[in-house]
């Protein structure tokens, strides 16, 4: 495991011992999204199997403050959902896809999501030799859409998730 610290926040790979706390963060995030009219994550998504796979696969990260998990996110080098973009990406590929960003209720509005898109994800992208970061979100996820456009991401079009065909607004930023 590695940890990189900035602004009193640090990120590193999640561990199985953190699974219950991570699931609580995702559960709270689902409720928060639903209360804001965003159906992006239906009840039970992501589930414990998905999260365990992310931990074991070395793609799930925790953001911590003084040892407390403030947020979680995953980072993968390829996402097949992005192959069918209706629109145009900024780059031809070689991207880092960042998914399942969830900030713990206590930490919402305190800059943790900005830390992920401004610091953690770009550092991971650079370490992996990636030239850009791609993300997607539900059209009704005003919080994430505002975060991404406010942090220099470009809206590139719409993708459709392979798992259920639902549309997502796709974003990209060069690193």
**What was the pLDDT predicted at 7?**
62
Radius of gyration of the chain (CA): 15
**What was the pLDDT predicted at 4?**
45
Single pTM value for the model:
0.92
What does the pLDDT look like over 52-104, one tens digit per residue? 999 999 999 999 999 999 999 999 999 999 999 999 999 998 999 999 999 99
What does the pLDDT look like over 31-58, one tens digit per residue? 898 888 888 887 778 999 999 999 999 9
Distance in angstroms (rounded) separating the CA atoms of residues 136 and 120: 17
- Identify the three-state secondary structure at position 18: helix
């Amino acid at each position: 495991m590695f940890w990189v610290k900035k602004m009193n926040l640090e990120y590193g790979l999640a561990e199985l011992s953190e699974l219950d706390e991570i699931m609580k963060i995702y559960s709270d995030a689902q409720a928060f999204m639903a209360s804001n009219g965003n159906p992006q994550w239906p009840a039970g998504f992501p589930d414990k199997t998905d999260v365990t796979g992310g931990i074991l696969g070395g793609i799930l990260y925790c953001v911590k403050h003084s040892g407390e998990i403030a947020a979680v996110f995953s980072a993968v080098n390829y996402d097949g959902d992005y192959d069918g973009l209706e629109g145009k990406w900024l780059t031809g590929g070689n991207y880092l896809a960042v998914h399942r960003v969830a900030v713990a209720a206590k930490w919402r509005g305190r800059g943790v999501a900005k830390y992920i898109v401004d610091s953690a994800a770009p550092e991971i992208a650079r370490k992996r030799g990636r030239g850009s970061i791609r993300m997607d979100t539900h059209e009704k996820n005003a919080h994430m859409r505002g975060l991404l456009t406010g942090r220099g991401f470009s809206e590139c079009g719409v993708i459709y998730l392979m798992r259920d065909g639902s549309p997502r607004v796709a974003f990209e930023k060069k690193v």
